[in-house]
Structure 1
Amino acid sequence: MIAPEAYVPGSSDVLLVVDIQHDFCPGGALAVPRGDEVISAVNALARHFPHVVLTQDWHPSGHLSFASSHPGARPYETVDVDYGAQILWPDHCVQGTRGAAFRPELDVPHAELVLRKGYHRGIDSYSAFYENDRRTPTGLASYLRERGIRRVFMAGLAFDFCVRFSAEDARRIGFDVVVFDDACRAIDVGGSAAATYEQFQALGIACHPSACVTDAAAQR
């Protein structure tokens, strides 16, 4: 008998691994505290999933979200842009640089898709599903639906930005969503980590530890 808190991934499930890149790990340009700690958990999780998608932040030089693109601005200030408030970040994950590359410890050879996001110079992209205007799709939803995916599991960086926006969008467009919060780390800008948990609860997005995942063989 499978306990209610146990997940056995099947053909309609996908693990979405968010932005395990050099610049989001210690020593990177936009390092998430202890971000590298999630890699071993992600590798272990991925072995249980027949379907895995990786996302990769992929900014051109001079991206709108970079503080360096706004004379006199500093990282972590907020400015108003066409699509609303935008936090300004240090230059990070610039296309073709080491910072944009996946960490070499990430070991998911059976990943079926690498989705690059944030490559439109004039709009940021936290979510794997929509640009930050919340209207422009990345195409991931259609890809998953055409393959019969109904439930999206998530892990990666950062919990309170790219994981959060991806989870919220996935739930909003009809997917069931589970976030493995022990396989995520947060930047925590102005209480954003706590706000993420509150929003997940309000939207019915489950947060569970990665240990609740098993495979069918283990249940026999």
Structure 2
Amino acid sequence: MEFSPRTALVVVDVQHDFADPEGSLFVAGGPETVPVVNALIGEAVDAGATVAYTQDWHPPSTPHFARDGGVWPVHCVGGTVGSAFHPDLDIIEGAPIVRKGVGGEDGYSGFTMRDPLSGEAIPTDLADEIRTRGATEVVVVGLALDYCVRDTALDAARLGFDTTVVA
């Protein structure tokens, strides 16, 4: 992977509930993903690229959860162990962190969320944050490929970023 100061590495949801076998929504291969992501973070930093993170961060009750009418088990409740970044994940000081679902929104993408009642798209600050830092290219890596990584990459491309997914 080639990084430059025009690149933003977006690290998606490498959190306890997804990356730890004890997590409530464990993704197979999650623990093995962490060292790969850390290597990419190191390469990005060395090249002067921006590193940004997304974090699923739900309230205790949300239409996103099955018990409240959604489809997902309770996961990544803000301030709990489940919502914490995996303890082995390298976090770059001062890097943007976008928390998804804070107000109960449905959100797989780091760039947009959806109001659970109206379905209206709600932009996050991620695009502005990385554009301000000079990014025109986005590299997306993290968990889970079939939901949050995919939607983050699709939104990055829709927003005009040259987009690459590392799977």
Partners of 1:46 and 1:129 lie apart in 2 by: 20
Residue 21 in structure 1 maps to residue 15 in structure 2: yes
Match for residue 30 of structure 1? 25
The 5 Å alignment of 1:66-215 reads 66-70=65-69, 88-110=71-93, 112-121=95-104, 123-132=105-114, 133=119, 135-181=121-167
2:36 aligned to which of 35, 41, 65: 41
Deviations 1:89-127 (A, max 9, x none): 000000110000011111233561111111122x21100
Tell which structure's C-alpha radius of gyration is larger: 1
Unmatched 5+ stretches in structure 1: 1-6, 71-86, 182-220
Match for residue 56 of structure 1? 55
Contact kept in structure 2, 1:54 and 1:114, CA below 8 Å: yes
Task: Give TM-score, length-normalised by structure 1.
Answer: 0.68
Contact kept in structure 1, 2:98 and 2:125, CA below 8 Å: no
Report how far residue 135 of structure 1 moved: 2.3
3-state SS of 1:38 partner: helix
3-state SS of 1:47 partner: helix
CA distance change for structure 1 residues 88 and 130 in 2, over 3 Å: closer, same or farther?
same
Report how far residue 134 of structure 1 moved: 6.4
Partners of 1:114 and 1:17 lie apart in 2 by: 9
- Taking only aligned residues, the RMSD between alpha carbons, in angstroms, comes to 1.4
Unmatched 5+ stretches in structure 2: none
Contact kept in structure 2, 1:52 and 1:111, CA below 8 Å: no
The one-letter code sitting in structure 2 at the alignment partner of 1:69 is D
Task: Give TM-score, length-normalised by structure 2.
Answer: 0.89
Deviations 1:165-193 (A, max 9, x none): 10000101100000111xxxxxxxxxxxx
Contact kept in structure 2, 1:153 and 1:178, CA below 8 Å: yes
Contact kept in structure 2, 1:124 and 1:131, CA below 8 Å: yes
Report how far residue 8 of structure 1 moved: 2.6
